């Protein structure tokens, strides 16, 4: 299991352990660089297998950090956003730290964890 699979599995496990987490059927991922003004194209959502190469490319660049953030549910699946700094912040002397984050309080207050005003998928 590589770093992407390990960290994604940790995130999903943690999200599922939350008392208010609704059931979901799988995961879809989205690169934050593909989000414009809070809107993402449905066609940019990827399965973990399809998204792994993108994560791997960014991880190899030795960026200071990558963040996998569960942002809510979309069409019954957990939507995870990959956030990263600008390429110009590469730190060639250190390994990339992969952090995890959960859905916002605003999303968690919705019974179905639907995406809110900060992200729309069209």
pLDDT tens-digit series, residues 31-68: 888 776 777 777 888 999 999 999 999 988 888 899 99
Q: What are phi and psi of 16, to 5 degrees?
A: -65, -25
Q: Are 87 and 75 in contact (CB under 8 A)?
A: no
Does this model's pTM top 0.85? My answer is yes
Instruction: Report the share of the chain in percent with pLDDT over 90.
Output: 48
Angle separating helix axes 3-17 and 48-60, nearest 10 degrees = 120
d(CA 25, CA 32): 22
* pLDDT of res. 26: 95
**Residue 76 domain boundaries:** 3-121
Count how many domains the chain has: 1
């Amino acid at each position: 299991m590589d770093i992407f699979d390990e960290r994604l599995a940790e995130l999903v496990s943690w999200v599922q352990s939350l008392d208010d987490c609704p059931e979901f059927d799988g995961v879809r991922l989205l690169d934050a660089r593909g989000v414009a003004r809070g809107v993402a194209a449905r066609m940019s959502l990827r399965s973990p297998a399809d998204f792994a190469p993108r994560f791997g490319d960014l991880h190899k660049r030795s960026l200071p950090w990558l963040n996998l953030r569960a942002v809510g549910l979309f069409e019954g699946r957990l939507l995870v956003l990959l956030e990263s700094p600008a390429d110009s912040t590469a730190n060639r002397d250190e390994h990339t730290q992969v952090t995890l984050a959960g859905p916002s309080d605003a999303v968690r207050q919705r019974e179905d964890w639907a995406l809110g005003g900060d992200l729309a998928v069209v």
